[in-house]
Amino acid sequence: MRKIISAIGLLAFLTLSAQQNVHLKSPGQSPVIGDDGKVTFNLHAPGAKRVQLAGHLPGQPIEMTQQEGNWTASIEGLEPDIYDYWFEIDSVRTMDPSNPYVVRDVAYLSNIFVVTDNGYSPYLTNNVPHGKVEKVWYRSDKLGGDRRMSIYTPPGYDGKTGKYPVLYLLHGMGGDEEAWQDLGRTVQMLDNLIATGQAEPMIVVMPNGNALLQAAPGFSTMGLYTPEGNQSVDPDRSFEAAFPEIVAFVEDNYLVDPSKSKNAIAGLSMGGGHAWKISMMMPDKFDYVGMFSPAIWWDGRGVPVDMNHPEVVPMLERQFQSAPQFYWIAIGNEDFLYDLNAHYRNLLDSHGFPYEYYESEGGHTWVNWRHYLLKFLPRLFKTD
Amino acid sequence: MRKIISAIGLLAFLTLSAQQNVHLKSPGQSPVIGDDGKVTFNLHAPGAKRVQLAGHLPGQPIEMTQQEGNWTASIEGLEPDIYDYWFEIDSVRTMDPSNPYVVRDVAYLSNIFVVTDNGYSPYLTNNVPHGKVEKVWYRSDKLGGDRRMSIYTPPGYDGKTGKYPVLYLLHGMGGDEEAWQDLGRTVQMLDNLIATGQAEPMIVVMPNGNALLQAAPGFSTMGLYTPEGNQSVDPDRSFEAAFPEIVAFVEDNYLVDPSKSKNAIAGLSMGGGHAWKISMMMPDKFDYVGMFSPAIWWDGRGVPVDMNHPEVVPMLERQFQSAPQFYWIAIGNEDFLYDLNAHYRNLLDSHGFPYEYYESEGGHTWVNWRHYLLKFLPRLFKTD
């Protein structure tokens, strides 16, 4: 077998002649982000006939133009945010070979870049105290096996002193226990908001919400398979029914305040539905409930909840006997779940259950879910 | 701005019509791994003129052949191991769009796949008890700032009872605190070896060995820059000189046995050089020293250590007054550091310092470093 020296080997090899400092020649610069929000994408592809820039970008797909095999495209005036994109080279979806930063959504990779606000982004690591992230396994008897989970503990948490509030943060269909970190930038957000006093120091628990999967793709006994986002809908083996096991694990192993005023649950899409259901099933547990583009259905996917639903309404009545401090629905005006949520708000209105509602631009996107979390976190645990 | 619904949104959307189970159509199957070690790569690229398969594969680069825009190539008889590869489509280095599993080495991404031995690989998650991985930040006064580090604690570690042996595991130039996990598969290896009793339950500490960098690319205040693998060689601000801060942090925050018989240090390439130096600088600390393809130089990169070096030899004499239980050099017969290491073995021989030596096939590769770690771990902490 022919062995190639790895990039690390190559570096060391270059070093032998270059002495002090060594640069592994980078594969080019792309994207180049200007101070004015102008972003330029570059690709050397002399053999390509057509290259398009695609992703969550205005005006996409964008035709790239070439000169001597160097393809380029620019976008002006991007607002500070995270953007994802990829190249379509002669119709093949590819990563930008100059950008090593990628995120995975189900089976698809995208490159990402960040436009900052004069150098600052809540989604990037800043020079502030940093919390710790743990990848732990817990036992679920209900779901039958060990399951993987991500847990953020804030700066100063030492496992010995204090009692911390806790947020359970749930992903959507196709996501996993990595999604809120990789796509959602939760860790950076928490560090940044806690440092400026905008959010309380809290523990954030990010489990895997797929009842049939024990861990994110690549971390389970399924090996390096191609994820497809299957979901169990067996109500007897549901994530929601097994959720108390997660709470018990967290309360046994971390210094958390178990009282309602110090417990929050939130999620996006399917996870928003989970937060909705779990907060009803544990009516004395959560004073803070966040539903981001939530999949509010009970009897079947896509079916709105009947205004006098014989199971849901009594559960809500029980939950709202002592109403949550903050019961929040956030959704984009182009979200395909918009009507479903409008229907559910009618239900809440008709029964007089109090809630807050936030409507943004856009649809069912991580851009929105990150924005919602940025708005949600400062509202938590401020009432005592 | 036009918003596209994300893959997660798409899944939920499909679900509205598909009811119970939903499959997001996967982007195709590649690679397809047969039971016999035959691996087939597939790519739909009707516009491409030439596609090559490249990476750590026998006979690479391999020309792929096409029929109606479907390109394919097969490799027979691959041994159980991890392999990395990419496609060169009309000379553009791209990821396999059907394979969401990638690793990053400096600024370059590669796809990976695993050939198992009848379903088993020490590099994959198996149905065994799992340890915990933590991403922590510690303060370095010597290097001036907070720095990120990965720490593995074994199954059963609860932070309350027991005293565990500890291995400090160091990466090479261009690597970071993620390298031994992502490229090295350390967590899976530890879980698997501990489960079968081949390795003792231990804590594994994986710091960032680049004195000038506080964290892996994307996790530091440098944002999403293009990594180039620069290295500081300022001896007053070296990783080695600052290493006792890491030991102090670990011994303050984890239940570790600080005695020599329960402490090990190992590293690859630059990290092998770090392990070599640090074990000399802390001569009473490490009973186990592992040097994988080590960069054994003192006065300048690439310069062999003089047989009677006025600084090194006295330090080694001090270290070998009470010789480490296991002082191990492992290198491939094609490694570009082979001669440097042969020279160093002569030095050890001429002074009568005892060591063990392992020579493998191949060069300066992660294939080898994973193999070395698999051989090294079972030798640790067995003497008491």
Q: What is the DSSP string of B2-70?
A: -----HHHHHHHHHHHH-S---PPPS---SEE-TTS-EEEEEE-TT-S-EEEEESSTT-SEE-EEETTE
B355 secondary structure, DSSP code: -
* A101 to B9: CB separation less than 8 angstroms, yes or no: no
* A107 to B55: CB separation less than 8 angstroms, yes or no: no
The side-by-side arrangement of strands in the sheet containing B39-44 is B32-33, B39-44, B70-75, B65-67
* A11 to B58: CB separation less than 8 angstroms, yes or no: no
Q: What are the chain B neighbours of A223 within 8 Å (beta carbons)? A: 114, 116, 121, 124-125
Of A130, A186, A181, A126, give the one whose Cα is nearest residue A155: A130
Query: Does the structure show a pLDDT above 70 at A15?
Result: no
Q: CA of A302: which chain B residue's CA is closest?
A: B16
B235 secondary structure, DSSP code: G
- Which of B8, B107, B367 lies nearest to residue A269, judging by beta carbons? B8
Beta strand A102-105 with A108-115 is: antiparallel
Q: What are the chain A neighbours of B53 within 8 Å (beta carbons)? A: none
Are A203 and A155 in contact by the 8 Å Cβ rule? The answer is no
Beta strand B92-94 with B65-67 is: unpaired
Closest CA–CA distance from residue A326 to any residue of chain B (Å): 26
pLDDT of residue A349: 98
pLDDT of residue B227: 85
Mean pLDDT within B113-121: 95
* Rounded Cα gap, residues B381 and B220, in angstroms: 34
Q: How far is CA B281 from CA A312, B243, B312, B326, B345, in A?
A: 67, 10, 10, 17, 19
The pTM for the full model equals 0.93
* Of B244 and B9, the one with more pLDDT: B244
- Which of B17, B92, B334 lies nearest to residue A45, judging by beta carbons? B92
* Rounded Cα gap, residues B115 and B31, in angstroms: 11
- Which of A94, A133, A134 lies nearest to residue B95, judging by beta carbons? A94
What percent of chain B has a predicted confidence (pLDDT) above 90?
A: 84
Using alpha carbons only, give the angle B284, B169, B324 rounded to the nearest 5 degrees.
30
Mean pLDDT within B316-343: 97
HEC assignment per residue over A95-156 = CCCCCCCEEEECCEEEEEEEECECCECCCCCCCCCCCEEEEEEEEECCCCEEEEEEEEECCC
Q: CA of B119: which chain A residue's CA is closest?
A: A223
Mean pLDDT within A262-279: 98
Residue B232 sits at φ, ψ, to 5 deg, of -80, 140
Helices marked H in chain A: 7-18, 179-182, 186-195, 239-253, 270-281, 312-321, 338-351, 366-376
pLDDT of residue A232: 53
Beta strand A132-140 with B132-140 is: antiparallel
Q: What are the chain B neighbours of A107 within 8 Å (beta carbons)? A: 7, 24, 26-27, 98, 100
* Rounded Cα gap, residues B341 and A320, in angstroms: 72
pLDDT one-digit tens code per residue, B185-225: 999 999 999 999 999 999 999 999 999 899 999 999 999 99
pLDDT tier for residue B304 given thresholds of 50, 70 and 90: very high
**Under DSSP, is residue A251 helix (H, G, I), strand (E, B) or coil?**
helix
pLDDT of residue B109: 94
Are A157 and A224 in contact by the 8 Å Cβ rule? The answer is no
pLDDT of residue A10: 42
- Which residues contact residue B205 at a Cβ distance below 8 angstroms, ignoring those fewer than 6 apart? B149, B150, B151, B166, B167, B168, B169, B246, B250
pLDDT of residue A3: 39
User: Directed axis angle between helix B338-351 and helix B312-321, to 10°?
Assistant: 60
The alpha carbon dihedral of A59, A63, A67, A69 has a sign of: positive
Are B8 and A173 in contact by the 8 Å Cβ rule? The answer is yes
> Position of tokens 């470093």?
B369
Are B170 and B268 in contact by the 8 Å Cβ rule? The answer is yes
pLDDT one-digit tens code per residue, B47-65: 999 999 999 999 999 999 9
Instruction: Take residue A284 and report the two structure tokens written for it.
Output: 């004395």
Q: What are the chain B neighbours of A173 within 8 Å (beta carbons)? A: 8, 11-12, 15, 22
Mutation target to probe the B interface, by most B beta carbons within 10 A, among A157, A224, A253 is A224
Q: What are the chain A neighbours of B8 within 8 Å (beta carbons)? A: 105-106, 172-175, 229, 268-269, 364
- Which of B93, B148, B364 lies nearest to residue A6, judging by beta carbons? B364
Query: Does the structure show a pLDDT above 80 at B1?
Result: no
pLDDT one-digit tens code per residue, A150-168: 999 999 999 999 999 999 9
- Which of B90, B112, B173 lies nearest to residue A47, judging by beta carbons? B90
* Of B38 and A227, the one with more pLDDT: B38
Are B113 and B33 in contact by the 8 Å Cβ rule? The answer is yes
pLDDT of residue B302: 85
For the CA atoms of B310, B314, B315, B320, what is the dihedral angle to 10 degrees? Answer: 150
* Rounded Cα gap, residues B271 and B289, in angstroms: 12
Mutation target to probe the A interface, by most A beta carbons within 10 A, among B3, B22, B334 is B3
Query: Does the structure show a pLDDT above 50 at B351?
Result: yes
* Rounded Cα gap, residues B270 and A161, in angstroms: 39
Q: What are the chain A neighbours of B114 within 8 Å (beta carbons)? A: 223-224
Mean pLDDT within B294-307: 91
Q: What are the chain A neighbours of B158 within 8 Å (beta carbons)? A: 253
* A302 to B101: CB separation less than 8 angstroms, yes or no: no
pLDDT of residue A230: 57
The ipTM, to two decimals, is 0.92
Mutation target to probe the A interface, by most A beta carbons within 10 A, among B2, B5, B11 is B11
Using alpha carbons only, give the angle B323, B328, B330 rounded to the nearest 5 degrees.
165
Least confident of A71-80, B7-16, B194-203: B7-16
Closest CA–CA distance from residue B321 to any residue of chain A (Å): 32
CA A290 to the chain's CA centroid = 14
* B135 to A132: CB separation less than 8 angstroms, yes or no: yes
pLDDT tier for residue A341 given thresholds of 50, 70 and 90: very high
A79 secondary structure, DSSP code: P
* Rounded Cα gap, residues B160 and B279, in angstroms: 29
* Rounded Cα gap, residues B78 and B58, in angstroms: 9
Closest CA–CA distance from residue A161 to any residue of chain B (Å): 13
**Under DSSP, is residue B117 helix (H, G, I), strand (E, B) or coil?**
strand
Q: CA of B171: which chain A residue's CA is closest?
A: A8
* A15 to B146: CB separation less than 8 angstroms, yes or no: no
